[in-house]
Amino acid sequence: MKVKMILPALTEAESPFWRPIKYSLFPPLGLATLASYLSPYDEVELQDQHVERVNLDDRPDLVVIQVYITNAYRAYAFADHYRARGVYVVLGGLHVTSLPEEAAPHADTIFLGPGEDTFPQFLRDFRAKRPQKRYSSAVRTLAGVPPIRRDLIKRHLYLVPNSIVVTRGCPHHCTFCYKDAFFEGGKTFYTQTVDDALAEIDRLPGRHLYFLDDHLLGNVKFASALFEGMKGMNRVFQGAATIDSILRGDLIEKAAEAGLRSLFVGFETFSPENLRQSNKKQNLQKDYQRAVKRLHSLGVMINGSFVFGLDDDDADVFKRTVDWGVSNGITTSTYHILTPYPGTALYADMQRQGRILTDNWDRYDTRHVVYQTRRMSAETLEEGYHWAYREFYRWSNITKASLTHDSAKHMLKHFLYSGGWKKFESLWNFLIKTRSLENMLPLLEAILSKVRTNPGPVPEQPLPAATTLTLQ
Ligand code: B12
Ligand code: SF4
């Protein structure tokens, strides 16, 4: 059987905000995971429109498309195209799960939730010529999942070909997050076995790994065993985790020992009111600065995530957030305008209050305001968002933030990582055009090399609430 798998490009591909490098980072891991359920006799082609032109002249037996919110219209157009040619088309992913009724008219079959249980079932039904119109994931386990078909990934087109996920979901329930809607009807947080995760790591060439898990430290027992097993594997890795998991116990030390060199941290907001609105309990009354210091003492660089536009935010939020990031030595910042994704508790809340302004999903890219704001206008919010990016990544601020570290090596790493990421667009574009991105990996690995071996002790208990959320 001939199978074509497509990850359509996000809408931003045609917008002035498009940064080719941001979309040449990670290969389409979800589709490569699903491909592992095909038979070795199937002929499979995996195309990622972010990095290559999708060939639409073919006529495979089955087309599999992954739908995110801002590639939804493109995904539907591809689906319609193939169906008009008589090809069987299946759609799945986050957006299909949020809005199955919208996706269904464009597909022969749709999938709700993760595909590890439903896709193999569909393949059996499809081969037996009795596929169903809809499959909903109910069994949540990663036990026995076959190795990802990494042979289908065109590694040279990506800066970070070694992306990996060893868990699914997250133990928390933030109201703006896709997670609860996507995993509805079953477990919302589960892990691979440690042995399977280590085997997957072992299969990856080179040293660098990027864990795309929502919360790599979310299951303490699993993560401890994973890091224990990774010791001596000579890896350097990046990942994501929450503030509370950085402050609690000694898991973060174990991660650093295993090779953690940079962490994506969801600070999101400094306002306790906003944290309550978002049900972000894991950040409430947590000392952000102490979490930052703890990571820095371990030589771990920080990618801080911040959301603008929660109801307690006013026009001062941009400057406060940028200043805090710079003075605390945050290496890279990812800012988002609050975006109520359909299916989330936030969306339901806003809809109840009549605050949703558009259902043009192309605008749900976290760069546009799609809801009625409270304490500032939509224009102020969008302008402030762009201002924050410009300001945080000014050379003077990159330098100032780099100088907050106490070792020369950490300062240099910070400077190169932050400057390299945001300031060399034409170099990145050149590397993408010449298809030589992968050649930058040794440099990335060098920047992620170890800073120090004996971190000083950092107290583990949070400070009293009154002092924890104060911006300085
Ligand atoms: C990698 C990644 C990216 C890459 C995406 C390109 C790529 N090559 O994958 C890049 C860097 C481009 C990116 C950009 C952004 N991202 Co992003 N990203 C991720 C991340 C970290 C990992 C995705 C992944 O590989 N997961 C692992 C694989 C195994 O899972 P999967 O892809 O979901 O596939 C499974 C299922 O979805 C399902 N499935 C998927 N497709 C299909 C199809 C069929 C037929 C079937 C049967 C099943 C199926 O089966 C697969 C196996 O279970 C996720 C978080 C996460 N942990 O998933 C966020 C995530 C997808 N990103 C998110 C966001 C918000 C963004 C940005 C807006 C951020 C920003 N401010 O710029 C942008 C733009 C995205 C947009 N406009 O929609 C949100 C999406 C929220 C939503 N409701 O859409 C997520 C969920 C993060 C979060 N916690 O909020 N992102
Ligand atoms: S901690 Fe992150 S991944 Fe988990 S529910 Fe909250 S936003 Fe989603």
Ligand nearest to the backbone CA of 171: 2
159-466: which CATH topology?
Answer: TIM Barrel (3.20.20)
pLDDT, tens only, 415-461: 999 988 887 888 888 888 888 888 888 888 888 888 764 445 544 43
Give start and end residues of each alpha helix (H) in 99-193: 100-103, 118-127, 179-182
Ligand 2 atom, smallest distance to 268 CA: 7
Q: Whose CA is nearest to atom 78 of ligand 1?
A: 70
Q: Tell me, in angstroms, the distance from the centre of ligand 1 to residue 66's CA.
A: 9
pLDDT, tens only, 262-310: 999 999 999 999 999 999 988 888 899 999 999 999 999 999 999 999 9
Per-residue pLDDT at 464 exceeds 60:
no
pLDDT, tens only, 98-121: 999 999 999 999 999 999 999 999
Per-residue pLDDT at 463 exceeds 70:
no
Query: Among candidates 57, 55, 41, which has minimal Cα distance to 2?
Result: 41
Q: Tell me, in angstroms, the distance from the centre of ligand 2 to residue 174's CA.
A: 6
Q: Which CATH architecture has domain 2-136?
A: 3-Layer(aba) Sandwich (3.40)
- For a pocket test of ligand 2, which of 180, 214, 341 has the largest count of ligand atoms closer than 8 A to its C-beta? 214
Q: How far apart are CA 275 and CA 281, in angstroms?
A: 7
Cβ of 264 less than 6 Å from ligand 1: no
Helix 378-392 crosses helix 317-327 at what angle (to 10 degrees)? 20
Q: Whose CA is nearest to atom 8 of ligand 2?
A: 177
More confident residue, 212 or 424: 212
Q: How far apart are CA 454 and CA 457, in angstroms?
A: 9
Query: Residue 461: its pLDDT value, please?
Result: 37
DSSP state at residue 7? E
Q: Whose CA is nearest to atom 30 of ligand 1?
A: 30
pLDDT bucket at 16, cuts 50 / 70 / 90: low
Q: How far apart are CA 259 and CA 267, in angstroms?
A: 23
Poorest-confidence range of 45-59, 292-306, 322-336, 433-447? 433-447
Q: How far apart are CA 430 and CA 8, in angstroms?
A: 23
Per-residue pLDDT at 182 exceeds 80:
yes
More confident residue, 21 or 202: 202
pTM of the entire structure?
0.94
Q: Whose CA is nearest to atom 2 of ligand 2?
A: 214
Does residue 88 contact residue 127 with C-beta atoms inside 8 Å? no
Q: Tell me, in angstroms, the distance from the centre of ligand 2 to residue 183's CA.
A: 12
Strands (E), 9-87: 43-48, 62-66
Mean pLDDT of the chain: 92
Domain boundaries, the chain: 2-136, 159-466
Q: How far apart are CA 283 and CA 247, in angstroms?
A: 11
Ligand nearest to the backbone CA of 115: 1
